[in-house]
Chains A and B, each alone.
Chain A
Amino acid sequence: MKDQPRIAPEIRGLLEEIAADPRSDLRLVPRKPLRAWFERGESAPTSAIATTRAERHLVEEHRESLAALLCEAAWLAYWKAPVLAHRPVDAEGKLYDPAEREPRWRARGERFGRTRSINEGTDLLRGVLGRLDAGNAHALAVASLQLVPSDRTRCYVALTIPWDRPRSAAHFFRRLSQTAWPIPLRSQALESLGARLCSLGLYYQAREAYRAVPDATPRSPYGLVCSTTLSCLLGDPRALTVESRRLDAVARSMDEPMQEELALLRTWADTLPASLRTVARNTREQVSGELSELGQAITEVFGT
């Protein structure tokens, strides 16, 4: 036992300080490293596992599988008729392709459908395996959430709320932007919150939502793209210049996702009243010499 390492004295000193604090939950300071709790090899006796506990994990996992299939179905259904949404990009920079994902989801769903049925969610899954429409998206997300609560699914529930109910969606997204876990979900919630606020004409609030996106995902350019766009729309040349410079630091200029984003912005800008687009064009004129290529391209969504 002498050879075993001991916790470094500096750290032990800190622990003792913690244990002495009456508010602390720590009541005793460990003297040795705690690695033994994380060193489980083959020697641990399987017979010691409580059977009911083990079986419960399997039942829960079956439920998780169904919830995941319903959630993915909601996501696939959503992308059959997306509303001004940019497709997610994976770690390699590849755009999400629902046409590529749907056959794999369908194969997994059919395999699941052949196993035991646990509730009405299975019937719902079997139904959409036959035909998956955009109109199913919200019901699928809700069914998934009822099976397994998770913030990711809550985001899908909010995302699939029809666009004629923007305040309900904004309420959900605002809450998710503050509490969702894992943290990157918060930036997705903020982007969606911004979009719903824009649909309500609340451009200043929307800009604030977009400006908060980099706090949750510093490398994502989309929040900055949208806040830059809104600064132009709101007649704020100073913010437009500052934000477009910040954007240059994180954006891969004019790659495929960015081109898709600009196309979405053009579609959205075309729906705006002519008076607002005129304001945006005037704002750009004031600072056009200070904008990078990307900043210029963003402001051109309002017309040249």
Chain B
Amino acid sequence: MDSGRSRSEGSAATWPGFLRGQSSDEIFCRLREHDPLRLRESAARRLREVWYLLEPERVFLRSLAVVAEHARLDDPPADLAAWARSKVDVAIERLLRLDLEAERTRPGVLTDEERDFPLLIESLRVEPESVRRVAVAFNALDAPPRRAFFELLIEGKEVGPVIEAGPWDMDELYRSIHAALAVFGLDIPVTPDPVRGKENA
């Protein structure tokens, strides 16, 4: 099948100028310079929506690469913004898998980029050598613990509104945040219960 013909037959949409080029390198350089799809912002926002611990700048760079590569392979989409958002998801999935595989095959051996995770190192004071292990363990958790961590620590929401808006009651939220924090090396006693309050201690 002639790919040029299949592109035009598959959809009436066309690629915008900044996603056209002789190579993915050319598109990548253009995207990196101007970020016309606002991928940096999308990457950071999407991480807060899916509750994964990845360094946002790293997700941004991978998103640029995914978009540049797929603009050469995919048919032009009818909805470019939705297509770009889906590529951020691809980038996140790629990095989650890369980190998991790296942790399996070379535990404790981190590249400079893997070590570069200011959120964990500067704010949570995780040792640089441990950041990938901690992130992989966190990202392997079910959604509720990850969500609890993001809403309570990243977003800084109050416990009450988090319970109100989430899929949990107070006990479930406590179990979730406990599970999330356990990946930071914690195995604390079940009581006292910090979410329920001191009266349970």
Residues of A near any B CB (own CB < 8 A): 5-8, 10-11, 13-15, 17-18, 21, 23-28, 30, 32-35, 37-42, 44, 46, 49, 53-54, 57-58, 60-62, 64-65, 103, 106-108, 110-112, 115-116, 149-150, 181
Contacts and interface: CB of A to CB of B under 8 A. Distances in A.
Interface in B60-97: 60-62, 64-66, 68-70, 72-75, 94, 97
Interface in B146-201: 152-159, 177-178, 181, 184-188, 194-195, 197
Contact of B68 (A40, A58, A60): A58
Contacts of A103: 1, 6
A8 B62 contact: no
Interface string B12-53: 000000000001110010001101001011011101100000
Interface in B102-160: 105, 112-113, 118-119, 123-127, 130, 134, 140, 152-159
Nearest to A57: B65
Given A65-B73, A107-B75, A115-B23, 4 more contacts: A17-B188, A18-B185, A21-B186, A181-B140
Nearest to A39: B44
Given A21-B188, A57-B64, A103-B6, A34 B153 contact: yes
A61 B66 contact: yes
A87 B54 CA distance: 34
A26 B62 contact: no
Main secondary structure of the interface of B (DSSP, over half): helix
5 contacts: A21-B185, A37-B56, A58-B24, A58-B25, A61-B69
Contacts of A38: 44-45, 47-48, 56, 119, 154
Contacts, number: 180
Nearest to A106: B1
A8 B140 CA distance: 25
A6 B156 contact: yes
Contacts of B7: 107
A10 B97 contact: no
Contacts of A46: 32-33, 35
A60 B61 contact: no
A65 B184 contact: no
Contacts of B60: 40
Contact of A61 (B23, B44, B57, B65): B65
Contact of B123 (A34, A58, A111): A34
B62 to A, nearest CB: 5
Nearest to A150: B97
B64 A108 contact: no
Contacts of A25: 126-127, 130, 134, 184-185
A275 to B, nearest CB: 45
A59 to B, nearest CB: 8
A60 B98 CA distance: 10
Given A60-B65, A116-B23, A150 B3 contact: no
A111 B73 CA distance: 6
Contacts of A54: 28, 32, 61, 64-65
Contacts of A26: 124-126, 181, 184-186
Nearest to A51: B32
A33 B153 contact: yes
Given A53-B61, A57-B62, A65-B73, A40 B181 contact: no
A194 B100 CA distance: 27
Given A15-B181, A57-B62, A106-B1, A37 B127 contact: no
A25 B121 CA distance: 10
Contacts of B195: 10-11, 14
Contacts of A107: 1, 3, 6-7, 75
